[in-house]
A and B are shown apart, each in its own frame.
Chain A
Amino acid sequence: MSFDNAYESLLGHEDAHWAFGTGFSEALSGVNREFPPGVDREALAAYCLMLGDDALIFSQRLSEWCSRAPELEEDIALANIALDLLGQARMLLTRAGEVLDRDEDQLAYLRDEREFRNVHLAEIDCGPGPGGDFGTTIARLLVFSSWRLALFSRLRGSADPVLAAIAEKGLKELAYHRDHAAQWTVRLGDGTDESHRRMQAGLARVWPFVDELFATHPVETRLAGVAVDPASLRSEVDGVLEAVLNAAGLTRPADTRAARVAGMAGRDGVHTEAMGYLLAEMQHLHRSLPGAVW
């Protein structure tokens, strides 16, 4: 065993592998992809788009921090989280595509704004740049991951075996995302006067988008046993947020009115003005060079 290369000594020589990690597994291998009998397939596709678009759009937002976070280590942490969410998006869009006869790339890159079903919280500009700062992004990550973790925890019991398997895999990822956000929320909230002020301002920025997360959509009602009713998650998520904010010495913002666009939610395909710019950047390459691959 040579100690010249740390990874060599970690892994030994017995494995044939192309990178230094081994033992990778395919998350959904062996999962039955048949649709459950009697399931409303159109609603199932719409539901997969909702959960998939939440992950895809938030992933795009998080990736904007790459090279712009406070430290290199945080660049990598946020990029890792973005990649976890992108993986969830791919599995969910693929499932939707099995009903819609479109592949994941077509769904990600060739739909227009009105066809996206993500919540507004995923798309708003929380920085870097004029929309916010690192504290705002941590506030969004805390709310989003606490909510999605609770959702995926219930989704493991879905009657659709693919959704259940996606939830099982995503749960461990989301637990880490929530932990990362909570660690930073406590450090910023309980840090300096300036970090406290910014963290509190970040919470104020994202709080008007919280109510939408728990509003039951007709698609969810049509999918009893397959989908999770988000209204049932509210007290659990509120409890988690309360505990983190208390530990951080932060105040829960009073304003919880749902920020809607013309009375409509992201789940209805109606988005904030930030969405068009986000999609332009995300879809530009694929639309300019259809089918481009690395």
Chain B
Amino acid sequence: MSTSWPLWEVFVRGKRGLNHVHVGSLHAPDAEMALRNARDVYTRRNEGVSIWVVPATAITASSPDEKDPFFAPSGDKVYRHPTFYAIPEDVPHL
């Protein structure tokens, strides 16, 4: 079995989902085939209406080592949440 095909990350937008969501990864020789493979591997059970594929090498990820300096400082800043405002009831998805 060949291991030469590059890795792609797959994002699917569900029927009622608002955003594309990462669902997994796969191998494919090029972007067009990656899209088709994603259709076959990740939307077999009627999950999606739109697919994005991204070369895994194009993703720059944060490192677990940097978890504390990256994320801990926001842990005590409750004022950044919009909970101090009155939200109109007819505004969805806020």
Contacts and interface: CB of A to CB of B under 8 A. Distances in A.
B62 interface: no
Contacts of B26: 73
Give chain B's interface residue range (CB within 8 Å of chain A).
20 to 34
Given A11-B47, A12-B17, A21-B47, A71 B5 contact: yes
Contact of B23 (A7, A72, A77, A183): A7
A9 B21 contact: yes
A3 B16 CA distance: 15
A217 interface: no
Interface in B18-46: 21-24, 26-30, 32-33, 36-37, 40-41, 44-46
Contacts of B55: none
Interface string A21-37: 11110000000000000
B68 to A, nearest CB: 21
Given A70-B2, A76-B40, A187 B15 contact: no
B15 A71 contact: no
B16 A183 contact: no
Contact of A73 (B12, B30, B41, B46): B41
Given A11-B16, A11-B47, A73-B41, 11 more contacts: A3-B21, A11-B14, A20-B45, A20-B47, A21-B46, A22-B46, A70-B1, A72-B27, A73-B28, A76-B40, A187-B33
Interface of B: 1-2, 5, 12-17, 21-24, 26-30, 32-33, 36-37, 40-41, 44-48
